[in-house]
Amino acid sequence: MTVIVTGGAGFIGSALVRRLNAQKRRVVTIDKLTYAGNPDNLAGLPHPELHRFEQVDICDRAAIKRIYAETKPQAVYHLAAESHVDRSIDSPAPFIETNVNGSLVLLEAALDHWRGLDATAKGQFRHLQVSTDEVYGELGITGFFDENSPYKPNSPYAASKAAADHLARAFGRTYGLPVLVTNCGNNYGPYQFPEKLIPLTILNALEGKRLPVYGKGEQVRDWIQVEDHAAALQLAVETGRPGETYLIGARGEQRNIDLVRKLCAILDELVPQQGGRKYAELITFVTDRPGHDARYAIDPAKAERELGWKPVYDLATGLKATVQWYLDNSAWCRRATATYDRSRIGLG
Ligand code: NAD
């Protein structure tokens, strides 16, 4: 049995590919290798003979059709995306191209492939649209998103993901394609491109650079360790009900400023600075992100109940292991940031 993972050279996709490969699953990674895609993320797979890499743009209809015909996947985990909100503020078009048009190309290829299967294989096929809690807009100081929350995306990124979620569900309803959607909170862990808050903070701190915090840092995000997310994605495909949405969250709510302070405290412990200086002294409040959502928080009860999923990491353990990973993998960090200087973007 073969599965396709799109975006498998990215942060979450590579965690999923590493997980499936360790379980000796046959995986085809489709990835264009944008600035965020990194073949190093898939180096050292324990069973390389079971992994096939296709450097392909998901918008390339002919190439996607060829891969489906050659590999006959039983499931598709669709993660390829432009994923950074700040970049979507500066330049929304690539987000529509990949996240909306590319998702449509994949759904059409899946439908063609699925229609040619026998009844048993048709019943087993799954297409998973991997999405974000950002499609639901923002919460006030109380309450949680759940599977019945209305879509209200506020950034171009969130709007593009929302469009793809709607298309996926429409393919399920209109054509009967066995589609599932998962919406997850903010991921952290190894191999995350250092434009995102946690690796950016760690690498800047180690270089003695300022640690930019947007606005007053009061926005709340719901954090989940990336391997916990990958486990949930596999359970959604293997045990979830087609047509359903599952919200994936680890009850890891945190204000941005508190998260950055926690990272600083971990760094103080693991790599103390000379003279007893504290990394938190580098925190600098900068102009807020335009349209910055105040709070995201997920009620994961349905995923816990129906998929039997439970996160392994709590935030404290997961953050410490993450900081240690970036400390231990400075060569990866150097290569990943060779074309990106960590300067501020997304002011519109
Ligand atoms: P990422 O930016 O690290 O990786 C995205 C990958 O997709 C990269 O390898 C990139 O090369 C590839 N890609 C981009 N455009 C492509 C195209 N046109 N064709 C083929 N490949 C292309 O992103 P991530 O953080 O790993 O996120 C993966 C998925 O999970 C995305 O769909 C994102 O919306 C979703 N998600 C992310 C988070 C998070 O906190 N990072 C949270 C919830 C949902």
- Quick one: pLDDT at residue 185? 97
Q: Tell me the C-alpha distance between 197 and 123, whole Å.
A: 41
Q: Tell me the C-alpha distance between 126 and 2, whole Å.
A: 12
- Quick one: pLDDT at residue 147? 98
How many CA atoms within 13 Å lie on the side-chain side of 203? 25
> Which residues are catalytic, by number?
133-134, 157
pLDDT per residue as tens digits for the range 213-230: 999 999 999 999 999 999
HEC per residue, 207-261: CCCCEEEECCCCCEEEEEEHHHHHHHHHHHHHHCCCCCEEEECCCCEEEHHHHHH
Q: Which residues does 334 contact at the CB level (< 8 Å), separation at least 6? A: none
- Quick one: pLDDT at residue 287? 96
Kindly provide the b/e burial profile for residues 117-140, where b requires at least 16 CB atoms within 10 angstroms of the residue's own CB: eeeeeeeebbbbbbbbbbbbbbbe
Pocket test for ligand 1, best of 12, 40, 136 (most atoms within 8 A of CB): 12
- Ligand 1 centroid–CA 165 distance in Å is 14
Q: Closest ligand 1 atom to the C-alpha of 196? A: 41
Of 293, 304, 292, the C-alpha closest to 247 is 304
Q: Tell me the C-alpha distance between 131 and 108, whole Å.
A: 18
Of 270, 228, 268, the C-alpha closest to 248 is 228
- Quick one: pLDDT at residue 184? 98
Q: Closest ligand 1 atom to the C-alpha of 192? A: 3
- Quick one: pLDDT at residue 318? 98
How do the pLDDT tens digits run along the chain, 348 residues long?
999 999 999 999 999 999 999 999 999 999 999 999 999 999 999 999 999 999 999 999 999 999 999 999 999 999 999 999 999 999 999 999 999 999 999 999 999 999 999 999 999 999 999 999 999 999 999 999 999 999 999 999 999 999 999 999 999 999 999 999 999 999 999 999 999 999 999 999 999 999 999 999 999 999 999 999 999 999 999 999 999 999 999 999 999 999 999 999 999 999 999 999 999 999 999 999 999 999 999 999 999 999 999 999 999 999 999 999 999 999 999 999 888 888 889 998
pLDDT per residue as tens digits for the range 248-289: 999 999 999 999 999 999 999 999 999 999 999 999 999 999
Q: How many residues does the chain have?
A: 348
- Bridge partners, residue 254, by sequence: 221
- Quick one: pLDDT at residue 342? 86
- Ligand 1 centroid–CA 282 distance in Å is 30
For residue 55, the surrounding DSSP H or E stretch is none
Strands 253-255 and 220-225: antiparallel
Q: Closest ligand 1 atom to the C-alpha of 58? A: 19
Q: Tell me the C-alpha distance between 185 and 254, whole Å.
A: 11
Q: Closest ligand 1 atom to the C-alpha of 187? A: 40
- Ligand 1 centroid–CA 277 distance in Å is 37
Phi, psi of 307, deg, nearest 5: -100, -10
Residue 187 identity (one-letter amino acid): N
- Quick one: pLDDT at residue 110? 98
Q: Tell me the C-alpha distance between 128 and 237, whole Å.
A: 7
Q: Is the dihedral of CA 261, 263, 268, 273 positive or negative?
A: negative
Q: Which residue's C-alpha comes closest to atom 43 of ligand 1?
A: 132
What is Dmax (Cα atoms) for the chain? 70
Catalogue all structural domains in the chain, each as residue range(s) with its CATH number. Answer: 2-255+288-336 (3.40.50.720)
- Ligand 1 centroid–CA 12 distance in Å is 7
Determine contact, residues 34/8, Cβ cutoff 8 Å: no
Ligand 1 site residues, Cβ closer than 6 angstroms: 7, 9-13, 31-34, 36-37, 57-59, 79-83, 98, 102, 130-132, 161, 184, 186-187, 193
- Ligand 1 centroid–CA 228 distance in Å is 17
Q: Which residue's C-alpha comes closest to atom 4 of ligand 1?
A: 10
Determine contact, residues 222/143, Cβ cutoff 8 Å: no
